[in-house]
A = this chain, B = another copy of it.
Amino acid sequence: MTVELICVGTELLLGNIVNTNAAYMSEKCALLGLSMYYQSVVGDNAVRLKALLETAKSRSDIIILCGGLGPTQDDLTKETAAASMGLSLVEDQRAREELVRHLQRLRRPITENNWKQALVPEGSIVLYNANGTAPGLIIEGEKNTLILLPGPPNELIPMFENQVYPYLHSRQPEVIYSKMLKLCGIGESMAETEILDLIEKQENPTIATYAKTGEVHLRLTARAATEEAALALIKPLEEELQRRFGTKIYTDREDVTLEEAVASLLKEHHLTVTTAESCTGGLLAGRLVNVPGISEQFKEGYITYSNEAKEKLLSVSHETLAAHGAVSEETALEMAKGCQKAAGADIGIGITGIAGPDGGTPEKPVGLVYIGCCCKEHSYVKRFCFTGNRSKVRESSVANALTLLREAVLNEVAP
Residues of A within 8 A of B (CB): 12-20, 22-30, 36-43, 45, 48, 52, 55, 154, 208, 210, 275, 277, 279-286, 288-290, 292-295, 298-306, 308-309, 312-313, 343, 355-359, 388-392, 394
Q: Do A37 and B13 touch (CB < 8 A)? A: yes
Q: Do B48 and A38 touch (CB < 8 A)? A: yes
User: Which chain B residue lies CB-closest to A38?
Assistant: B42
4 nearest A-B residue pairs (beta carbon): A281-B289, A282-B282, A15-B27, A15-B26
Q: Do A24 and B15 touch (CB < 8 A)? A: yes
Q: Do B30 and A37 touch (CB < 8 A)? A: no
The one of B16, B30, B281, B359 that contacts A288, using a Cβ cutoff of 8 Å: B281
Give 22 CB contacts A-B under 8 Å.
Answer: A13-B26, A14-B26, A14-B27, A15-B30, A17-B23, A18-B20, A37-B45, A38-B48, A38-B52, A40-B41, A275-B282, A275-B303, A281-B282, A282-B282, A282-B285, A283-B286, A285-B303, A289-B305, A292-B355, A292-B358, A300-B302, A301-B303
Q: Tell me which residues across on chain B come within 8 A of A301, comparing CB atoms.
A: 281-282, 302-303, 305
Q: Do B281 and A285 touch (CB < 8 A)? A: yes
Known: A15-B28, A18-B20. 4 other contacts (CB 8 A): A15-B27, A293-B358, A299-B309, A300-B303
Q: Do A289 and B295 touch (CB < 8 A)? A: no
Q: Tell me which residues across on chain B come within 8 A of A279, comparing CB atoms.
A: 289
Q: Tell me which residues across on chain B come within 8 A of A26, comparing CB atoms.
A: 12-15
A349 to B15, CA, bound (A): 35
Query: Given A289-B280, A301-B303, does the pair A40, B39 have CB atoms closer than 8 Å?
Result: yes
The one of B19, B25, B292, B303 that contacts A356, using a Cβ cutoff of 8 Å: B292
A48 to B55, CA, bound (A): 13
Q: Tell me which residues across on chain B come within 8 A of A290, comparing CB atoms.
A: 390-391
Q: Tell me which residues across on chain B come within 8 A of A39, comparing CB atoms.
A: 12-13, 40-41
The one of B210, B283, B292 that contacts A282, using a Cβ cutoff of 8 Å: B283
Nearest-CB distance from A146 to chain B (Å)? 19
Nearest-CB distance from A76 to chain B (Å)? 15
Q: Do B302 and A298 touch (CB < 8 A)? A: no
The one of B16, B154, B286, B343 that contacts A210, using a Cβ cutoff of 8 Å: B16
Query: Given A37-B42, A303-B303, does the pair A23, B30 have CB atoms closer than 8 Å?
Result: no
Q: Tell me which residues across on chain B come within 8 A of A20, comparing CB atoms.
A: 18
Q: Tell me which residues across on chain B come within 8 A of A42, comparing CB atoms.
A: 37-38
Q: Tell me which residues across on chain B come within 8 A of A355, comparing CB atoms.
A: 292
Q: Do B300 and A282 touch (CB < 8 A)? A: no
A120 to B375, CA, bound (A): 55
User: Which chain B residue lies CB-closest to A209?
Assistant: B16
Q: Do A305 and B300 touch (CB < 8 A)? A: yes
Q: Do B309 and A305 touch (CB < 8 A)? A: no
Q: Do B23 and A19 touch (CB < 8 A)? A: yes
A283 to B284, CA, bound (A): 9
Q: Do B388 and A154 touch (CB < 8 A)? A: yes
User: Which chain B residue lies CB-closest to A310?
Assistant: B300
Q: Tell me which residues across on chain B come within 8 A of A359, comparing CB atoms.
A: 292
Nearest-CB distance from A187 to chain B (Å)? 13
Q: Do A18 and B18 touch (CB < 8 A)? A: yes
Q: Tell me which residues across on chain B come within 8 A of A292, comparing CB atoms.
A: 355-359, 390
Nearest-CB distance from A327 to chain B (Å)? 13
Q: Do A282 and B289 touch (CB < 8 A)? A: yes
Nearest-CB distance from A14 to chain B (Å)? 5
Q: Tell me which residues across on chain B come within 8 A of A52, comparing CB atoms.
A: 38
Q: Tell me which residues across on chain B come within 8 A of A389, comparing CB atoms.
A: 154
Q: Do B294 and A299 touch (CB < 8 A)? A: no
Q: Tell me which residues across on chain B come within 8 A of A22, comparing CB atoms.
A: 12, 15, 18-19, 41
Q: Tell me which residues across on chain B come within 8 A of A299, comparing CB atoms.
A: 305-306, 308-309
